[in-house]
Structure 1
Amino acid sequence: MKRKAVIFGAGEWGKAAYYYYREDIEIACYIDNDKSIWGTQHNGIPVRPPEILRNREYTVIIANKRYETEIKKQLFHDYNIRGVIVFRIEEKMQELCPEDNYQVKKDEIIIAFSNGLGNQMFQYALYRNFLKQGKKVKADLSAYIKPDMMPFELPKVFPQISFEYCNPNEKEYYLKEGRVYVEEPPRGKEKETFNRGLLEMKTGYIEGFHCSYKYAGLIRRELLDDFRFSIKNNSELCKIKSLLELKETVAVHIRRGDFLAAKYQREIGGLCTDEYYLKAIAYIKGKCPNAFFCFFSNDMDWVKDNIEEKNALYIEKHMFTTYHDWYDMYLMSICRHNIIPNSTFGWWGAWLNQNPDKIVIGPKRWRNRWEAGDWCPPEWIAI
């Protein structure tokens, strides 16, 4: 007779755990703390609240990496459960190094790059700060080995930028020596991401996103030069540019798509709602009666259905023979004003806007766990 078990976690890991255990264990149900998915099903198995554990005996399989510690405490204190199975998937990236006799240089700073273009630009801002100080800096791109990682686009979008890339042996040396700085998100009284002491670092490995206007502000002139878009050979972009220059344009960036994925909801869900955008648009109209709204989104059908503006232009892929994401950032940067979501991509579109009288509106909270802190310059308006 098979043992009865429940899988705590109805996300991707929970689904993987089902296929792993289904031949040997009878899976009674998934359980999850997310009320919105109670009553749904995965693989024909219902998703139920943790309360079903009260006064019932099940083997509990935890299949949730992010909240594993919290779930263990919950099971112990709320349901008197003393033992669980922890299901984990191990994925190890392996960098290949053809130079067996490579001599590690011990006076360098290595900065880890990861995620999409907006995050890469923040990481580059830190990289550029160290370069300006005359320090030896290298980039670690090992995160881009992962198949689900967005591509490393900086040198393609901004070919004037050059990098020196680290050797895997150098990274390994700093990790073993413990010369590592891992950025922690701001919590409690600590409201800022910016760490001035980090800029005094002389050697070591740095990991994080560094999303603070202060890192960028220290080298604004250099970054404006490095982050120059090349559009002279793109007639379609030039045509839209000419149109926008004639109007009191307001870039409105609405990020949905990937931001709606279940794995991101606890972190960023419910922050930039339609109410947020309507308030921001109303504020702009109060300041700029002739405002012409230029919408950018990865879910333009939703934008057209939920935010009606007659005096507007919707930037869509079909407007270009060959479309690239950075087209949106460039066009945002040449609008006179900006409304942005909790997205580093939209942040850079607004930051690169060189209109001295620009109005930039962003959300008060960039993550559900903390407020915007020092993500945005103080002159930007938080709603």
Structure 2
Amino acid sequence: MIVSRLVGGLGNQMFQYAAGRALALRRGVEFRIDRRAFLDYKTHAFGMACFQVELNEAPPHLLPNPPAEGRVQRWFRKFLPTPLKVFAENSFPFDAHVLALLDNTYLDGYWQTEKYFCDFADVIRADFTVRHAPSEANHRWLDEIARTHSVSLHIRRGDYVSSPSAATVHGVCDLSYYERALAHIHIATGIDPVLYVFSDDLDWVAANLKLPFQMNLVRDNDSSTNYEDLRLMTACRHHIIANSSFSWWGAWMDGRRDSITVAPVRWFAGDTPDARDLVPQRWVRQ
């Protein structure tokens, strides 16, 4: 059995699931999740139930750590006996040792690179098919996206702006990044794009983002239906993502070979963590 500890926002949960699911497929064993962290986690809710995949929780008696355990306690716990061998993420870049881990492993980390699961990309994309039919409003968006030369554009603000600690670590992409990214797609395709803009602060976007092409602000979804935005992003032909795991997945789920994804050169505000493996090499950095 392979078990993945899930915590964080939906994008982070998807990375954690994907790394564990791929490892279980590699070993030919059962995959389970540990979602106990959400008993005490106030920032985000467990969001994976929106997908078609059947989520099986690991038996509590096999799990090695209590949900309120902190990072230091988790590090010490690596040296304690447990039914599952805990493998904690030691650094942000890709760790090839993960691919060779054996059965009865408990994954504790974020695992933010496709290198942990790209050998099972088709399975992961199928797992992350949204379970629910789109609402009437989102059905209209999907029809429009299919008819246009659509580009998803995501602006992440929220705690990246309101929280000093998050702002220090992450920062936000400046408006010039979106201008450069859009110019690249326009030149590469030779077609005037139609932008579908997603953000947790669309009022700010409306007041500040001025681009020379048609912009549609997608306002029909909220945090409880964020999977609808994810589905709409993936439906677009090309993608301009923020330094956000959410829009990373919106772009990655679009498996078309001719799709262009533009990502920011700098993912974090500082020089750490080292995000060299987070953005796939086939994507464009601006």
1:362, distance to aligned residue in structure 2 (A): 0.5
Please tell me whether the aligned partners of residues 255 and 298 of structure 1 are also in contact (alpha carbons under 8 angstroms). Answer: yes
Q: CA deviation at 1:116?
A: 1.0
Q: Percent identity?
A: 27
Letter of the 2:250 counterpart: G
**Partner amino acid for 2:40?**
K
Give 1:234-383 correspondences, 5 Å limit.
234-260=135-161, 261-270=163-172, 272-288=173-189, 289-309=191-211, 310-317=213-220, 324-367=225-268, 368=270, 369-383=272-286
Post-superposition offset of 1:328: 0.9
- Mapped partners of 1:330, 1:194: distance in 2: 30
The Cα shift of 1:262 comes to 0.9
Which one has a larger percent helix, Structure 1 or Structure 2?
A: 2
Aligned partners of 1:256, 1:216: CA distance in 2, in Å? 28
TM-score after normalising by structure 1: 0.64
Relative contact order higher in (CA < 8 Å, ≥ 6 apart): 2
- Once residues 283 and 163 of structure 1 are traced to their aligned partners in structure 2, the CA distance between those partners, rounded to angstroms, is 43
Out of 87, 93, 98, the residue aligned to residue 181 of structure 1 is 87
Following TM superposition, by how much is the alpha carbon of 1:218 offset from its aligned partner in structure 2, in angstroms? 1.4
Structure 1 stretch displaced more, 301-310 or 257-266 = 301-310
Deviation at 1:197, TM superposition (A): 4.0
Please say if residues 32 and 55 of structure 2, whose CA atoms lie closer than 8 Å, have aligned partners that are also in contact.
no
Matched, 1:139 2:41: no
What does residue range 15-34 of structure 1 map to in structure 2 within 5 Å? none
Could you tell me which amino acid in structure 2 is paired with residue 118 of structure 1? Answer: G
Please tell me whether Structure 1 or Structure 2 has the larger radius of gyration of its CA atoms.
1
Aligned residue runs from structure 1 range 47-126, under 5 A: 108-126=1-19
* Corresponding residue SS for 2:64: helix
Kindly indicate which of the two structures has a greater share of residues assigned to strand: 1
User: Structure 1 residues 233, 306: CA separation in 2 closer, same or farther (over 3 Å shift)?
Assistant: closer
Structural RMSD (CA): 2.4
Deviation, 1:158, is: 0.6
Change over 3 Å in CA distance of 1:233–1:208 after alignment to 2? closer
The residue that corresponds to 1:104 in the other structure is none
Task: State the one-letter code of the partner of 1:151.
Answer: A
Shift of 1:168: 4.6
CA distance in 1, matches of 2:65, 2:15: 24
- 2:37 and 2:206 map into 1 onto residues whose CA distance is 36
- Displacement of 1:316 in angstroms is 0.6
TM (norm. structure 2) is 0.85
Please give the per-residue CA displacement for 1:322-350, whole angstroms capped at 9, x wherever unaligned. 96111111100000000001111100000
Instruction: Choose the corresponding residue for 1:166, options 40, 55, 59.
Output: 59
Residue 321 of structure 1: how far off its partner (Å):
11
Distance 2:209 2:41 in 1: 35
Q: For 2:6 and 2:91, how far apart are their aligned partners in 1?
A: 17
- Greater Cα shift, 333-342 or 255-264: 255-264
Measure, in 1, the Cα distance between the counterparts of 2:132 and 2:143: 12
1:152 is aligned to 46
Corresponding residue for 1:31? none
Distance in 2 separating the partners of 1:267 and 1:343 = 12
Q: Distance in 1 between matches of 2:210 and 2:22?
A: 42
* AA aligned opposite 2:124: L
Name the aligned partner's letter for residue 125 of structure 2: L
Cα 1:129/1:147, change in 2 over 3 Å? closer
1:330 maps to a residue whose letter is: R
**Are 1:252 and 1:293, in contact at CA under 8 Å, matched by a contact in 2?**
yes
For residues 232 and 364 of structure 1, do their structure 2 counterparts lie closer, same or farther at Cα, with a shift above 3 Å needed? same
The residue type equivalent to 2:208 in the other structure is N
The answer to whether the 8 Å contact 1:278/1:307 transfers is no
1:301 CA displacement: 1.5
Against the structure 1 CA distance between its residues 247 and 184, is the aligned structure 2 distance closer, same or farther, given a 3 Å change threshold?
same
Q: How many residues align?
A: 267
- Whole-Å Cα distance in 2 between the matches of residues 138 and 232 of structure 1? 26
